[in-house]
Structure 1
């Protein structure tokens, strides 16, 4: 018995030794807001994995003359890591299946890897270290030509429309603000893209993408999000010859439902509905999308 009692001080001392603590993402950032990939609050060591599925189609050109219909099913696999409270590093690799058909009913099909996107989000202002109400960040990164050239059964390259990437390096730069007010949260962002020349001398036009979103979350398990997404596209060119098809402006109304079936898991279901289309000779269908994000 005396030997057992002599071990009590040693046991108490072992319990007083500090060890690393583990906490969910909500506890670590001090905010219970459900967030999609790219809109989360940062804290040092945050690691997030996500995958997103999108299905969409569009038709370019004039019907019965030179129309080209494109359909795509795309899955983006993403990872984001915060080595510091002010920095998020991210990478996204798309897996795509695409079908292109022209007015002659000739069809091309391609599937495989698309162009990877790598980026960083630098938070330049937060009104407080823990559970901030306002976050301002700078987005910087680029798309990389990781998609291989797609070829038909005879080894000939498919058309540019059927390719899963442009084969160019496309840097981007943007600004983002996030605000949090009790059950409500808000997001505003603007990102500019400046593509370089890629396959067959093609160069996509400079683009500006914007998002204005608000989210209402009455429960820790679900939230409703409504966004207006805009895209302004400049004319593309091939070896300096401009092509105005596809240039102009388009706006989408984007309702989403966010669900958290378990801690650190966010499921997002939504649709992007084109409500204002000023793109030249382009008809865009709604974009269906579903995603899941997990914090490790």
Structure 2
């Protein structure tokens, strides 16, 4: 009898020992909304990895005179971690391949790492701790000069447009708002960049990038998202000489499909279609094709 009592006591003591609790990202944040990288709800200890691939092209100048065509395939490797319920730390490293072709048919090609971007998103308001309906965040960060100077076979630097980054330190400041209404969610954000002078004395123009998005999620595994993305950029300069080409306003309509094949994995497929082009210098932007996958660990 005493052996049975001892065994029962040990079993009860084992069950009372606290263990580390683990839950999926949806359970931990209290909201089943599928989110792309950068729009997720925070909770302490959230760790997220993402891989986004984008393809686009851009042509500037007159076709028969000075046209130049730039094509890029880019893969962004991202990681985000929330050490606190109100703080997200993130880093994104782009791996790129670029091809620049002049009207003379001369071509420059570059591939390698681009300029890394790091940031801290501070959530300054949430209407409740668990499963909030309203979130306001402030983004602080910078784009770092991590891209190497790419050179041709003779050891000469490629032109600035063919380089994989500006090689400058560019501070950024942003503000975002998210709200969740049952099957619907909405996101509005604005981020400003203030570039410094970088490679060969080039300084990109200050820019403002905005997003206004609505998402409908009729089922736990998939959602439809429609956004209007805008980019307003000032003129650049090289060693103090202004260059207005490429500056101005560019706006996209961006439909996306998100689906979750398994728990904690979100796949996103979409396209950015330019609908308003007020850029200087006969600049024509192609649609931007993109695919991404995000995983919560």
Q: Is the shorter-chain TM-score for this pair beyond 0.5, marking a shared fold?
A: yes
Tell me what 2:23 maps to.
23
Contiguous gaps of at least 5 residues in structure 2? none
Contiguous gaps of at least 5 residues in structure 1? none
- 8 Å contact from structure 1 (residues 260, 266) kept in 2: yes
Task: Look up the SS of the partner of 1:278 in the other structure.
Answer: strand
Tell me what 2:63 maps to.
63
Tell me what 2:207 maps to.
207
Residue 188 (structure 1) shift: 0.2
Residue 4 (structure 1) shift: 4.6
User: Which aligned runs of 4 or more in structure 1 are off by greater than 2 angstroms?
Assistant: 1-6
Task: Look up the SS of the partner of 2:212 in the other structure.
Answer: strand
Q: Report the aligned-residue RMSD.
A: 0.8
Residue 6 (structure 1) shift: 2.5
**Mapping of residues 83-162 of structure 1, within 5 Å:** 83-162=83-162
C-alpha distance in structure 2 between counterparts of 1:205 and 1:60, whole Å: 17
Q: Please list the CA deviations of residues 190-243 of structure 1 after superposition, one character each: whole Å capped at 9, or x if unmatched.
A: 111000001111000000000000000011100000000000010000111101
C-alpha distance in structure 1 between counterparts of 2:204 and 2:67, whole Å: 19
C-alpha distance in structure 1 between counterparts of 2:85 and 2:92, whole Å: 21
Q: Please list the CA deviations of residues 138-190 of structure 1 after superposition, one character each: whole Å capped at 9, or x if unmatched.
A: 01100000000001111111000110000100111011000000000000001
- 8 Å contact from structure 1 (residues 61, 245) kept in 2: no
TM-score, length-normalised on structure 2?
0.98
Tell me what 1:262 maps to.
262
Q: Please list the CA deviations of residues 46-77 of structure 1 after superposition, one character each: whole Å capped at 9, or x if unmatched.
A: 00000000000000122221111000000000
1:285 and 2:286 are equivalent in the alignment: yes
TM-score, length-normalised on structure 1?
0.99
Task: Look up the SS of the partner of 2:88 in the other structure.
Answer: strand
Task: Look up the SS of the partner of 1:104 in the other structure.
Answer: coil
1:192 and 2:192 are equivalent in the alignment: yes
1:179 and 2:191 are equivalent in the alignment: no
Report how many residues are paired: 296
Task: Look up the SS of the partner of 1:166 in the other structure.
Answer: coil
Task: Look up the SS of the partner of 2:146 in the other structure.
Answer: coil
